């Protein structure tokens, strides 16, 4: 083979050796498949949308404010005509410190009861407190039970529910509570309270509010009168007498009229003081006894005696429930009563 032929063979072999494995560039790798999210299985009957919880709008707390000049003049005039001394009434009701209390008026117009309010007295802590009070003051409770034939457990239950044995703070001046409510027939006050109540219940009418406020005005004027009588009898300044938003006073929460009529001077110091334990305990016994609590009375009569203390079925239930758990309620009483009194 000549030189030229050998060179041609070598060049041919070199081209073959240098040729790529593929006739063309390899195709790029395929892209990964797209991630497909699994759709939730939808049932044939879709769920009802979750009901949004809506809270009842809170009642706006109307701040206290001074009485307008001369606003209480008609009340003063009526109290003087009913036998109170003008100088005493005028000094109290024209005191520049005195404030109108529309918030306490709101609380008195709207019913504040309900079973939920009394559940706090059924727990172990409250019942232990009641048992401790009963043990610590067994002598005065036994004296009240012997005199008025009201079980000591019932008296203990009343004092627990009313003020936790005098430990609840009394923030409201009774003079302001009653003098404010005595003006409850004012058109401006009716409008103000109606607007407050309408925010909570669209079914309430102005006529309903006006009717209830009229009854509260009459009731408050009577208690205002007796507050002055009580203050003079006990040597107190009416302005300094504090109680609940309803104007109830002392450990057992007596209104001024009840204070004067049913209060008992148990410690014989010459005056009834319902912030002292002996007077408070015997006064509760006296009140229930005078309103129908007798040893041989049927259960409905016993219920009515407690109802007279506080016109609330939930309250009556609470007193009997606490008493039952302490072991001194009539055996025929169910765990929670269903009282029906007109």
Instruction: Quote the DSSP letter at residue 192.
Output: H
Q: What is the pLDDT of residue 28?
A: 56
Who has greater pLDDT, 201 or 278?
278
Spatial distance between the Cα atoms of 62 and 104, rounded to a whole number of angstroms: 9
Q: Give, to the nearest 10 degrees, the angle between helix 73-81 and helix 86-93.
A: 160
- Using alpha carbons, select from 336, 321, 327, 330 the residue that is nearest to residue 297: 330
Alpha helix ranges (H) inside 64-173: 73-81, 86-93, 102-109, 124-136, 138-148, 152-163
16 belongs to a structural domain: no
Residue 153 lies in a domain: yes
d(CA 148, CA 185): 41
**Is 19 contained in some domain?**
no
Torsion of CA 312, 309, 247, 157, to 10 degrees: -90
CA distance 308 to 262: 13
88 in a structural domain? yes
User: What share of the chain has pLDDT > 70, as a percent?
Assistant: 77
**Mean pLDDT of all residues in 188-210:** 92
Tokens representing residue 229 in the block: 């009588």
The residue among 119, 234, 122, 114 whose CA lies nearest residue 174 is 234
Per-residue pLDDT, 79: 98
Tell me what pLDDT residue 245 has. Answer: 94
Average pLDDT, the chain: 84
- Would the CA dihedral through 320, 325, 328, 330 be positive or negative? positive
Total domains present in the chain: 1
For residues 321 and 308, give the distance between their C-alpha atoms in angstroms, rounded to a whole number. 17
Residue 83 lies in domain = 65-326
- Mean pLDDT, residues 47-64 taken together: 58
Model confidence over 59-86: pLDDT tens digits? 567 789 999 999 999 999 999 999 999 9
Residue 36 lies in a domain: no
Looking at residue 196, its pLDDT comes to: 87
Please give the residue that has the higher pLDDT: either 182 or 103: 182
- Beta strand 242-243 with 65-66 is unpaired
Say what percent of the chain tops pLDDT 90.
70
Sign of the torsion formed by the C-alpha atoms of 232, 235, 239 and 243:
negative
Query: For position 153, which CATH number holds?
Result: 1.10.8.350
Q: Is residue 39 part of a domain?
A: no
Supply the pLDDT for residue 110: 81
Q: Quick check: is 319 in a domain? A: yes
pLDDT given at position 50:
54
pLDDT of residue 334: 40
pLDDT higher than threshold 80 for residue 337: no
Q: Is 276 inside any structural domain?
A: yes
The secondary element (H helix, E strand) that includes residue 69 is none
Residue showing tokens 């029906």? 340
For the cut 80, the answer to whether the pLDDT of residue 321 exceeds it is: yes
């Amino acid at each position: 083979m000549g030189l030229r032929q050998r060179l041609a063979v070598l060049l041919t072999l070199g081209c073959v050796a240098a040729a790529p494995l593929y006739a063309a560039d390899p195709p790029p790798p395929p892209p990964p498949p797209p991630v497909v999210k699994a759709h939730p299985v939808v049932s044939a009957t879709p769920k009802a949308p979750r009901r949004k919880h809506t809270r009842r709008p809170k009642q706006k707390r109307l701040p206290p404010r001074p009485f307008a000049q001369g606003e209480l003049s008609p009340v003063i005039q009526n109290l003087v005509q009913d036998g109170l001394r003008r100088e005493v009434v005028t000094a109290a009701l024209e005191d520049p410190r005195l404030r109108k209390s529309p918030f306490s008026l709101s609380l008195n117009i709207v019913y504040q009861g309900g079973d939920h309010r009394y559940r706090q007295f059924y727990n172990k802590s409250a019942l232990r407190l009641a048992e401790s009070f009963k043990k610590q003051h067994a002598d005065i409770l036994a004296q009240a039970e012997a005199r008025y034939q009201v079980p000591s457990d019932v008296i203990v239950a009343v004092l627990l529910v009313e003020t936790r044995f005098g430990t609840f703070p009394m923030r409201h001046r009774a003079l302001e509570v009653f003098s404010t409510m005595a003006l409850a027939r004012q058109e401006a006050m009716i409008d103000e309270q109606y607007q407050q109540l309408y925010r909570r219940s669209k079914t309430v009418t102005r006529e309903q509010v006006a009717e209830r406020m009229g009854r509260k005005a009459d009731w408050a004027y009577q208690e205002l009168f007796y507050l002055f009588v009580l203050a003079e009898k006990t040597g107190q300044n009416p302005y300094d007498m504090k109680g609940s938003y309803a104007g109830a006073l002392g450990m057992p929460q007596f209104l001024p009229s009840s204070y004067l009529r049913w209060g008992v001077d148990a410690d014989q110091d010459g005056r009834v003081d319902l912030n002292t334990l002996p007077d408070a305990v015997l006064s509760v016994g006296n009140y229930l006894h005078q309103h129908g609590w007798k040893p041989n009375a049927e259960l409905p009569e016993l219920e009515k005696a407690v109802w007279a203390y506080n016109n609330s079925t939930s309250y009556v239930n609470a007193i009997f429930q606490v008493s039952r758990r302490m072991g001194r309620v009539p055996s025929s009483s169910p765990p929670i009563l269903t009282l029906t009194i007109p």
